[in-house]
Structures are given as structure tokens and as C-alpha cells.
Copies of this chain bind each other. A is one copy, B any other.
């Protein structure tokens, strides 16, 4: 079985991508980051999801991006709540973490090189998303070009390390449909940016809104627990 690195945040998208990589027949090396995120709770979900039989190893890399701050997810800025779905993708919101996907992909690239893996899977999505620049196809293409020049694998061994982004042009409802067919246990996932506690999602941040909207479109109940109305961590 060919190895692949899979970026695994513990969210709905990365859980689906992991199932897709497994279905594609890869031996999966799951990579998560403990980066000082407000929603560190997602790492419990990543650990659960990494029990998937296709996962050979799960690494949670610590990297304290709170030292830089500059984001609602890693600093003192408040997470926006109750924004209308159509407003979410319009501008880059304060939950954007500067260069986060570049950092995560760089680490994935290093691991891929050590593993002799030619594939890195990641669950970026450029349709039902928060407007982050580092989730777009242009970014992915530029990173692939960089990877070829940055590594011994690319320069000396003429290997091409590819970024696999099966969700990038999918609507979130279709991502859920695809995941359900592959047996993804969405009860083990966690998407909330600002959970009031480990057992609940807020239901009001952009990530919760996009998720709830997508489950509603599929016509399936979201299996995770949300805080009662009027209760949140803000």
C-alpha cells in the first residue's frame, strides 16, 4: 500500500478526506496540529478519527501560534457569531489564522518526504467555506510548484508530491453525502470555533453555521451536541 499524509483537524471535511484516502487504498499517516487553537477540543475528535484501520500513525504536532496571535482562533479577538450564511464567504474573517495552511502543508511535506509518500490529502473547500485565501485552488497549485523545488524528493529524486483536495469544488452537503456513503462517523467530528465546553458546539460561529446548514440540506440530523440557545462560550 502506498503511503499518504492526511491532514486531520478533526472536523467534518478532514474526516471525509481521511475516508476517501482510505477508499483510494492508501496507508494513511494522519497529521494534526496543537497550535494554540481556541477549539483545541477538535484534537479529541482527530484522535478518535485516527482509529480508522487505514491509519498507520497519527502525529499531533505542537506549534504555538498564539505567540504570533492575529486571529480570533489563536488570540484575544472575538469569534463572530450569528452571521448569515451568505455573508460568511464574502470577506476574509477574523478567524483566519495567518499562513495556517501554508504552515500545516509545509510540515506535511516534510513528513511526506521522509515517508516516501507522493500524496498529501487535505480537506480544503472553496465553496461553502470561510473565505480563507489558503483554501483556494490557486494556493494549492502554487504550493505544489513550491514542493517540487523545496525538497530533495522533487529536486534530486524527481518525485512529484501532489496535493489531493477531493473536496475543493464540492458543496458541503455533498461532502456529507459522500462521507455517509463511506461510513464516516460524523458524531466523532468537531467543527465549532468557540465551543462552550468539550461536549457542546456553540451553533453560532461560521463553522457551526456552515455545518448545520449542510446537514439540513442533506436532511439528516447532525449527530453532535449543540449548546442550548443563549448559552455559549463568548
Residue of B nearest to A103 (CB): B106
Copies in the complex: 2
Question: Quick one: which of B64, B106, B111, B133 contacts A102, CB cutoff 8 A?
Answer: B106
Whole-angstrom distance from the CB of A47 to the nearest CB of chain B?
A: 15
For chain A, the count of residues having a C-beta within 8 Å of the partner chain is 46
In the complex formed, the residue of B with least CB distance to A109 is B99
Please measure, in the bound complex, the distance between the C-alpha atom of A92 and the C-alpha atom of B152, giving whole angstroms: 7
Query: Distance (Å) between the CB of A59 and the closest chain B CB?
Result: 5
One digit per residue, 1 when the CB lies within 8 angstroms of any chain B CB and 0 when it does not, for chain A 59-73 equals: 101111101111000
Contact A109 B113 (CB under 8 A): no
Interface residues of A (CB under 8 A from B): 59, 61-65, 67-70, 91-92, 96-103, 105-107, 109-111, 113-114, 133-134, 136, 138-139, 142-143, 145-147, 149-156
Q: Identify the 9 closest CB pairs spanning chains A and B, nearest first.
A: A70-B114, A99-B110, A98-B113, A133-B155, A98-B110, A103-B106, A102-B106, A99-B109, A142-B146
